[in-house]
Structure 1
């Protein structure tokens, strides 16, 4: 019976499905025990991970029988793709399964930060009454949303935002200006700097590559409208965190929501730690009860098919 190692959390129903046909070793703590993980992989045929397990060449060398790596998500920067290709190891992400969860997170964050009221509960609870201060929030309708990276998740964001009456513009160097998705979502394709200059809200949906590292650097952040909002659910490292923190502290930006960071978990010494008007979440934009079920089920199906082929 072929063996599957699962090193991070996965929906129990999907794990049970795999156990019907495979020898499954499911231990979400393996991600923090690399030596034990390597030992488990010595006779494994598949490995299932989320974003924390580093699937390196050294890890692959410890798994001579490995056929497939299942990724409970879509980002692949924790997986050495060339090393997998050299060893004929298939990489199987859960493409599309968490798009709705991420899109809802983005739209929710945009609504909260545009209105500017939901981070002030402590003051009201303490007996203050900042009614006048909090009466100048902005509505989503009529605001401009720039979606940077127009893949499946970016397109889902565009559709939700369009339903709220937002004007959606976007940028994606991988897509032609006449690609059907622009027309289908009601978004307008633009050059990156042009889109940033017009945006009331900017949301990133790009992988972390050499070309996207610090995509929003100090220069581009300085070009944003005064009072703009930045949301990142894509990958840490695509925003210069020091420059973003400075823009928020100087009130050049009205707010930001970050679900991903250059270093995860976020360090206490991070420039983001004491920054105002900032929503910080621990890389969970794509995680809901429903999305975890979809992601886990899809990856289980794809890994089972790879091992049965």
Structure 2
């Protein structure tokens, strides 16, 4: 059987598949050419770049499995694929810590204005050092503040664990009943059970000093005009889940008014061409959808993806 790893796969995962008897191609085929060339393969693995929609599935009756390296599967017509007997798998656990650490890259970056300083120091550092120092003099600490986590799956919980390790209080909201404590590991083998509190969505919005979103995009943004009105004044928002979860136009209004102090965005409504108002806003810390882009996460994703594909295709 032949597998197309169209958005790449870690070398360990590739080796596992080859040792199991599969041929693995890692040359990227452009989206417009997939309908013709995917006919040569029995399975495809993708990240967020490649889309596997109904028309592509229909054109490739030989397709037996679609593997998503990561969590969100909004680039795949999952239900339709499964209705056609095509297995669809993803790797929800592998990237949790990497995404959680990126959330805190944005938070730590923002509360000390590092994102803005990195833009202005190369231009003004030599001529306006004192002025910049004064403008960045009102940083705040995360310890003792309240992080609200919206969506308490694997990534949401990993984010909460990092927050607890930094001495933050954690409140969260989820569709399902969740835990009252989380286990947090420290160096030297020290492990502690620390409390977290589940609240309603509205109460999390009202009580959080910072909010991190870990939900899929459904039919409308999780935080839109009404939700912005409920937020604490001066809140910080981070979205490392999916583009569209925050209404970007309402976010710009909230940033401009001071309702929201800053935002950290790893995902965007219009990927891969985010709107210029977002890219150039002085109160937004930006990364180009790199939540899972660590060596460790990619190895875990490759291993999990290979394991699941071997189990699926060997049946």
Q: Normalising to structure 1: TM-score of the pair?
A: 0.91
**Shift in Å, 1:89:** 1.1
CA change 1:25–1:38 in 2 (3 A) is farther
2:83 to 83, 86, 93: 86
**Shift in Å, 1:231:** 0.2
Kept in 2, the 8 Å contact 1:236–1:263? The answer is yes
In structure 1, the partner of 2:18 is 19
In structure 1, the partner of 2:51 is 54
**Shift in Å, 1:236:** 0.5
In structure 1, the partner of 2:151 is 149
2:181 to 180, 183, 187: 183
Kept in 1, the 8 Å contact 2:116–2:282? The answer is no
In structure 2, the partner of 1:216 is 223
- 3-state SS of 1:285 partner: coil
| Cα distance between partner residues in 2 of 1:274 and 1:247 | 15
**Shift in Å, 1:107:** 1.7
2:65 to 51, 63, 68: 68
In structure 1, the partner of 2:134 is 132
- 3-state SS of 1:18 partner: helix
- 3-state SS of 2:289 partner: coil
1:258 to 247, 265, 283: 265
Unaligned runs of 5+ in 1: none
CA change 1:142–1:302 in 2 (3 A) is same
**Shift in Å, 1:275:** 1.1
Q: Give per-residue Cα distances to partners, 1:236-263, cap 9 Å, x unaligned.
A: 1111101111221233211111111111
**Shift in Å, 1:39:** 2.2
In structure 1, the partner of 2:167 is 165
| Cα distance between partner residues in 1 of 2:9 and 2:180 | 34
| Cα distance between partner residues in 1 of 2:74 and 2:133 | 45
- 3-state SS of 1:119 partner: helix
Kept in 2, the 8 Å contact 1:249–1:275? The answer is no
| Cα distance between partner residues in 2 of 1:68 and 1:120 | 47
**Shift in Å, 1:118:** 4.7
| Cα distance between partner residues in 1 of 2:164 and 2:259 | 26
In structure 1, the partner of 2:308 is 302
**Shift in Å, 1:63:** 1.6
In structure 2, the partner of 1:230 is 237
| Cα distance between partner residues in 1 of 2:227 and 2:168 | 22
In structure 2, the partner of 1:246 is 253
| Cα distance between partner residues in 2 of 1:120 and 1:126 | 13
Q: Which runs of 4+ in 1 moved over 6 A?
A: none
Query: How many correspondences in the alignment?
Result: 298
Unaligned runs of 5+ in 2: 183-193
Q: Give per-residue Cα distances to partners, 1:25-45, cap 9 Å, x unaligned.
A: 2213x1x3422x222221321
**Shift in Å, 1:18:** 2.1
